[in-house]
Amino acid sequence: MDLPIHDQILWQACVLAEARLGGSGLDRPTKYFPLLSRGSWLNDTNQVSCFTDFFSNPKAGHYVAAVDDRTHAFFVEYWAQKTDEVVGRLARRDAGLAADAMNLCRQLTSAADFGTYTNHDHLDVLLETDQEYDGTNVARTVKGSLDSIATRLEMSTLVDTSRAARLAPVQASALGRALHSIADFFAHTNYVELLLWAVHERGHLAEPLVALMNCDPRVWPFDPALARGVYTPLDRPSSVDPDQPLLPGWWQADSAAQTPLVSTVFDKQDTTCSLLSLYSRYLESMGTKVSTERELDLVFSIIDVSGAPLTAGALRLFARVDDVVTGLFQSMGRAARNMLAGWLDGRGDAFAAGANLLRTYDGAEAAQWARAGRMRYLGEAVRAAMAQKLARELNDPSKKPLPHHTLLSKDHPPDRADEQVRFSLACHLATELSARVLEWHFGSAVPDEDGFERLRRRFLLHPSDQLGSAFEAKKLAPLLERCTSSAWPMLAKRDVRLEAFAP
């Protein structure tokens, strides 16, 4: 999920947990929101370490976390800027709460916990391979990521359960990292799709919602501009035509129970889509302004994953840090640009023109591309090719393709109504589970491993097992229908406790 969405989920979870604790907890979870946000921020920022490791030690042949002291010092200052932003937003709601939060943040100014990217933090599969399947209904990467979440919660909450330890800023930041991965469990797997399918199989989804998810044009007249891309039907089509503009985006067995819970693949194609999206958003956000090539390199260093223009504060920070560090990030950005250009080459004239613009940046030409939406078009073309490949594999019963991150992830608010349902449901479930983990951590009772295991067995498992043992499908149906009419995060503001997940 995009970091702003992670922050919204964390904030809503803090508010829910605080209301449910009713003043009986060790402290107010909302006061620790900036530190939780810091841990979440670290999870995404650690992806930069892949690049820093490569440029710091390119002969190693693998990522070795060679992040030196100067790079750490950069992230200390970079997080200081982010802290001001997060606490500033908090101050608009409650000045006293923001002051307390800032006092906590001042106790944790080190970036020593910045380090190597791990795919388990994001439930990413780095290579599409049959080795994901081990004969069970939960794929290997999902199992590994759930174990990783449990390990992070052990470090943040269980190693020392004293009041002082659980309220320590470093522990709150570690908890934020675990909660980031919990949100990605719902966003980066096919859990939401399997849950909808399993509830539908049991006859507890209203027909309008079923028709919506099946993208049936007889019931929901799609705007032609939206009737393309990927959808996740609840009724399996008998065959798939790869030449259609709207294609099913994940493989299915004969039932939800027979379809494994899997993570999404994030490989070079997905990296290409992400970089194209970053570049197009950056160009379009600049408007009539023309950025310099140096600024573009810094954007492509994956420091600013939102694709927004670098703030004046960020540019001042880059100007102030050691030349070696600035040069490192510029080299990272240049390498990312060249990697993207190399992937685009040989894929037609439009892609070749995009590759040339990436290699030899011209601000005026880039502005024209932004106004015409040409870079965004290239991203859509890459996604369409990925969907067509998946559609062809869906017709082959011997294939078990994994869904690509670009096609199935629920990272940001989408345009199409069926995708909005999946995104809203992922956000709501992430908020509910995060709130319960916060209650477990900040509650007056001493937390134990059994407490999290109970949550894990209730939430973090294959939906068919969940429906069969933890609750009845009909109790979940009202929430699913509510997701069709309530945009995130308004749904969470209603404080809808999922009675279906009650003990």
- pLDDT for the residue numbered 306: 52
Most confident of 197-201, 279-283, 483-487: 197-201
pTM: 0.88
Ranking 31-40, 206-215, 241-250, 451-460 by mean pLDDT, the lowest is 241-250
Domain boundaries of the chain, sorted by first residue: 3-192+410-501, 268-372
pLDDT tens column, 83-140: 888 898 889 889 999 999 999 999 987 776 776 677 788 888 877 666 788 888 898 8
How far, CA to CA in Å, does 149 sit from each of 17, 65, 133, 188, 412?
19, 21, 21, 14, 22
- pLDDT for the residue numbered 172: 93
* Backbone phi, psi, residue 265, to 5°: -80, 135
pLDDT tens column, 204-221: 888 888 888 888 766 666
Ranking 30-34, 167-171, 255-259 by mean pLDDT, the lowest is 255-259
Please determine, for residue 315, whether its predicted confidence score (pLDDT) is greater than 80: no
pLDDT tens column, 459-477: 899 998 888 644 556 667 6
- pLDDT for the residue numbered 271: 79
Percent of the chain surpassing pLDDT 70: 77
Give the closest residue to 364 by CA, choosing from 294, 295, 289, 307: 289
pLDDT tens column, 360-395: 777 777 777 777 677 778 888 888 888 888 888 877
Q: Which stretches of 52-196 are assigned E, i.e. beta strand? A: 124-125
Please determine, for residue 495, whether its predicted confidence score (pLDDT) is greater than 60: no
- pLDDT for the residue numbered 484: 60
Residue 345, both tokens: 């080459």
The chain-wide mean pLDDT, for the chain, equals: 79
Percent of the chain surpassing pLDDT 90: 22
Alpha carbon of residue 112 to chain centroid: 23
Q: What is the mean predicted confidence (pLDDT) over 346-358?
A: 79
Q: Residue by residue, what is the 3-state secondary structure of 339-388?
A: HHHHHHCCCCHHHHHHHHHHHCCCHHHHHHHHHHCHHHHHHHHHHHHHHH
Give the closest residue to 413 by CA, choosing from 486, 359, 472, 351: 486
- pLDDT for the residue numbered 499: 35
